[in-house]
Amino acid sequence: MKIARFSRIGFILAAAGSAVGLGNIWKFPYITGEYGGGAFVLVYLITVALIGFSIMIAEMLIGYLGRKDGVTSFENLAPKNKHLWKFGGFQGLAGLFIMIFYSVVIGWIFHYIVTSLSYLPASVAEAEQTFTTMLHTDITTQLFYHTLAFLWITYVLTRGIKGGIEKMNLILMPTLILILSGMFLYSLSLDAFGKAVDFMFTPNWSKLTSEAFVTSVGHAFFTLSLGMGAILTYSASMEKNSNLVKNAFWVVFLDTSIAIVAGLMLFTFLYQYGAGPAKGPGLVFISLPATFYEMGIIGNIFAVLFFVALAFAGLTSSVSLVEPMVQYFIDRFSWSRLKASIYMGLFFYLIGIIALLSNVDDYQKLLTWGGKNFFDWVDYVTAAIMLPLGGLIMAIFVGFVIEKSRVESVLKPQLGKFFEVWYFSLRYITPIAMFIVMLSLLGVL
């Protein structure tokens, strides 16, 4: 039986689709605003180059050499203690856990696509009231769109590498880039564009605290979809003799470019109409809808296009979050792709309902403990423990466990004289950085 492989462009778009998610389009802008604009952007770009790029190559290497699911790849590539190292492959569970709340958020975006066709809030206060009403009382709407997200993601997964994941990304990723590019070109014509450029690229060093450094490392890592087995799993289906370094570069370039373009576009709109970079869901679901209202009829068009682009980013990421565990059950237990996709889909869908209900007033108290509701706890555990731990394991495995000669045989021809720089960064700089990020997110530092 012939194993389905990504084409080169298919792999790059699928991996970029995995990396380009909700964090690029709304999280990056608001944390940039919180930590001093240009100063934070500079640190972010440096950490992407030194840490994110290093881990991206390492994760691709494990998948490319292992040619199986994450668990099997770790087990097969470990020279010794295979029974222990196989547990490194279970980082795919992080993606599945992220999907518990990610699917709910995609449901919110679906809802806003529909409502933006005919309605936009006239003020930030009205936008906040609309969003909080949906979040805290409207179970039916959230459940309906959460179900739509589950059905779409599961269907794509059942279609496999070529017919599902690659085909979806070949359509959605170029469309996402086209929509954002069009909105960005429009923002160039607005008076506030210069102010957005100044904010994004003129450093405000007074806001660049040690917390900002930790945040930049964490976000650079997480936005590239690393430490959850997605890039590893996709790389297992990469064509032979692929250039991992070039593929990693294009994925990192696309991911970072989209974040920068989104930031410039959103800050231009917000400054043009007197709003600011609100934190968290407030930016996308409160500040922006009120800003689009100020544009008149073109605001409805832009609102729909923006939420469609955001939905596409979320959906391409979602498929990659679930695929590692789908592939695990296919490889290790000989499940059919249909069975594995449905079971994994039902896992995040059913537990996602609990996450959804934990925001609803009638159930919030029951589903809240330690100052966080269930939705927030899943977000916290994946971000503070599972993803940093996955990245740490990846760096140690490639840097210290796999024989250097084996790593060199693949990457030295591609990296040339920079191989030793990359290898040193992977062995020492990246593990220390990820350990610090994890301790910081856990509140130890």
Q: Supply the DSSP string of 87-140, one letter for each residue.
A: GGGGGHHHHHHHHHHHHHHHHHHHHHHHHHTT---SSHHHHHHHHHHHHHH-HH
Average pLDDT over residues 127-136: 94
Name 233's Cβ contacts closer than 8 Å, sequence gap at least 6.
Answer: 63, 69, 70, 92, 320, 323, 324, 327
Q: How many CA atoms within 13 Å lie on the side-chain side of 115?
A: 19
**CATH number of 143's domain:** 1.20.1740
Q: How many domains does the chain have?
A: 1
User: What is the rounded distance in angstroms from the CA atom of residue 24 to the CA atom of residue 261?
Assistant: 10
| Tens-place pLDDT, residues 404-435 | 999 999 999 999 999 999 999 999 988 988 88
| Tens-place pLDDT, residues 309-359 | 999 989 999 999 999 999 999 999 999 999 999 999 999 999 999 999 999
Which pLDDT score, from 0 to 100, does residue 135 have?
95
In-domain check, residue 87: yes
User: What is the rounded distance in angstroms from the CA atom of residue 128 to the CA atom of residue 8?
Assistant: 44
In-domain check, residue 344: yes
| Tens-place pLDDT, residues 138-167 | 999 999 999 999 999 999 999 987 788 888
User: What is the rounded distance in angstroms from the CA atom of residue 66 to the CA atom of residue 235?
Assistant: 9
> What domain range includes position 346?
8-441
In-domain check, residue 281: yes
In-domain check, residue 3: no
In-domain check, residue 1: no
Joined tokens for residue 49: 């180059």
Within 10 angstroms of residue 425's Cβ, the number of other Cβ atoms is: 21
Helix (H, G, I), strand (E, B) or coil at 296: coil
In-domain check, residue 296: yes
Which pLDDT score, from 0 to 100, does residue 1 have?
43
Q: How many CA atoms within 13 Å lie on the side-chain side of 413?
A: 7
Q: What is the mean pLDDT of the chain?
A: 89
Which pLDDT score, from 0 to 100, does residue 353 have?
98
In-domain check, residue 266: yes
In-domain check, residue 226: yes
Residue 200 has pLDDT above 50, yes or no: yes
